[in-house]
Structure 1
Amino acid sequence: MATTLTTRQVERLLNTQPSQDGDGVNIQRLHEFGGGLDPFLMLDELASDQPDDYIGGFPPHPHRGIQTLTYVIHGGLTHEDHMGHSSTIHAGDAQWMHTGRGIIHSEMPLTDHDGLHAFQLWLNLAAKDKLSQATYRDVRADEMPELQGSNASLVALGGWWQSLAGESVDGPLDSLAGQGAIAHARLDAGGEFSLATRATTLLVYVFAGSVDIAGTRVAKGQLARLGAGEELSLNSTDGAQALLLAGEPHGEPIAHYGPFVMNQQTELEQALRDYRDGTLTD
């Protein structure tokens, strides 16, 4: 007897809010430091064809206790850090940073004829990994495998993704916190995509057009948190693009201050002392 899969329903919608970061960079931001999107913490979208919105970039600044994933749609970003890494990512590329005990880095924008469009995602590290060694990795567009749907496709940045037809791909980023998985879905007009996923946390962020998920319309600039189930079905009448985020919650306390995310207030205070003393990255 065939097993009937439960379709995942939208249980919560969040809207991005305008914000600024770095040297006056205008962004759209979603954040949840109360554990509501665990293991994910924050998603920033940088999208503008006006250089004044982003040209100041993100001069050197610290992080501790998180992973970041930066993904470029068009334009580019150049990364430099205290460990000596220096690299540039362009359209379709990503960079992953495991900050662990501490990283000091900068990200400076590059533009093309359409300006800059990129995302940065923060993932929380489990308590046991918050003071681990910092690491960094670039991933190029041609390293990312694809799944095909009906007038739709999915690019896997990280983690394992499977269609209902049984086809699956593994994204090159295989060390994402909270067993994280991240993908970029593109749907043409009338496009459909159905995935098999049992991840406890499953999020869909729409950044172009609109997507229908089990009868709920998710518009551009909205993030949908989905309820329990085994099947995710995406449909779009007019075409859409979205980021898909899946993972397993840490279920641990979260203490946040600026670029630092720890478990306790005392650990945040220690991070600030270490940064002031110049020992954050030791």
Structure 2
Amino acid sequence: MINRGIKRVIPAIDSQDGAGVKLKRSLGHRQNLRIDPFLMLDMFSSDNPDDYIAGFPPHPHRGFETVTYMLNGKMLHRDHMGNEGLLSSGGVQWMTAGRGVIHEERPQQESGLMRGFQLWVNLPAADKMKPAAYQNIEPEEVVEIDEPSVKMRLVAGRIVRDGQEYQGPVQGIVTEPVFIDILLEPNSSVEIPLSRELQGFVYLFEGQAKMQDDAIPTESAVELSEGDNLILKTDNQSARILLIAAKPLNEPVVQYGPFVMNTAEEIEQALSDYRQGVLTEVRA
């Protein structure tokens, strides 16, 4: 068994998106700062409505998946097909944009804390033009694993603890992702087997923690080295950490804003389709 360590640290930087929503972007703040198949990771966290109230007006996507995980607050999602869903604290939306989606995300609160993550996950070339799909996961559907000194919320993937198998509610994703929200109490540790086929990272967003004996920087996507086991520890503070991993695609990535394809020609086609109003049309 080989324990994973820290391969690379990608610090989050202050950024804005949508109609001026303030956030911190780690993965993707430059196009070379990715961890295959993950393209971007944003964390938004503010109790000032001026930082989030304008939300994300209608905008397109093609060629990848967006994952929104709400920690606090409420966000309404609506798309061009009339689909609508309300994300609340602890809920998840896993949206496969495929050929094309035009959607908007609007905060459903005028005060209070709005906090969560949005992750972009690449799709393989064979799936980039398939019809859009959604998995809307209510907070109570997320699998909770409660152990002494550690609590885990399993969004996606499979994990075995003390001989019992747990499976997250998000399923059928081609990259076979693992997505776990981990709460570690002070002076504790947790060991999580993680297939060596997967590439991924941890993101420490509360408290202090270590990976084996190395301190994990806060507000950073911390890429994992190769291995098949992960050990997380705390000293005198608790910690909350996202663990996200998946199978890499090992394909070329060409990105232009909300379009992620394999070639420049495909990006040009996406732009042309959007301008002509046919981005979302499924062709025979």
What TM-score do the two structures reach when normalised by structure 1? 0.94
Secondary structure at 2:185 match in 1: strand
Residue 280 (str. 1) matches residue 282 (str. 2): no
Supply the distance in 2 between the matched residues of 1:134 and 1:61 (Cα, whole angstroms).
15
How far the C-alpha of 1:218 sits from its partner, in A, is 0.9
The equivalent position to 1:28 in structure 2, one of 17, 24, 28, is: 24
Question: 2:34 & 2:273 partners in 1: Cα distance?
Answer: 29
Q: Does 1:230 align with 2:231?
A: no
Distance 1:188 1:113, change over 3 A: farther
Specify every segment of 5 or more residues in structure 1 that has no aligned partner in the other structure, as ranges: none
Distance 1:67 1:246 in 2: 14
SS at match of 1:273: helix
Equivalent position SS for 2:186:
strand
Residue 188 of structure 1 aligns with which residue? Answer: 185
Higher mean displacement: 228-237 or 52-61: 228-237
* Higher mean C-alpha displacement, 106-115 vs 232-241: 106-115
Q: Distance in 2 between matches of 1:185 and 1:110?
A: 27
- Deviation string 1:253-282 (CA, Å, 9 cap, x unpaired) is 000011010000110111000000000000
The partner residue of 2:151 within 129, 144, 153 is: 153
Mean CA deviation greater in 57-66 or 102-111: 102-111
Q: 1:169 aligned to 158, 162, 166, which one?
A: 166
1:150 and 1:192 in contact (8 A); partners too: no
Contact 2:66 2:118 in 1 (8 A): yes
C-alpha separation in 2, matches of 1:103 and 1:142? 27
Give the 3 Å change call, closer, same or farther, for CA 239–111 of structure 1 in structure 2.
Answer: farther
Equivalent pair of 2:190/2:232 in contact (CA under 8 Å):
yes
> What is the aligned-residue RMSD (CA, Å)?
1.5
Instruction: Among all aligned residue pairs of Structure 1 and Structure 2, give the percentage whose two residues are the same amino acid.
Output: 37
- How far apart are the structure 2 equivalents of 1:176 and 1:187? 28
Q: Which moved more, 1:203-212 or 1:120-129?
A: 203-212
Structure 2: unaligned runs, 5 residues or longer: none
Q: Is the 8 A contact 2:151 2:184 kept in 1?
A: yes
Match among 7, 10, 23 for residue 11 of structure 1: 7
| Alpha-carbon separation, structure 1, partners of 2:225 and 2:47 | 36
Alpha-carbon distance in 1 for matches of 2:107, 2:94: 16
User: Relative to structure 1, is the Cα distance of residues 112 and 187 closer, same or farther in structure 2, using a 3 angstrom cutoff?
Assistant: farther
Return 77-86 or 113-122, whichever deviates more.
113-122
Is the strand fraction higher in 1 or 2? 1
Return the letter of the residue paired with 1:269. E
Q: Call closer, same or farther: CA 1:167–1:34 in 2, change over 3 Å.
A: farther
Aligned to 2:246: 247
Alpha-carbon contact 2:94-2:136 (below 8 Å) kept = yes
TM-score (norm 2): 0.93
Q: 2:131 aligns with which of 108, 111, 133?
A: 133
Extract structure 1 runs of 4+ deviating beyond 4 A: none
* Superposition deviation, residue 114 in structure 1: 3.9
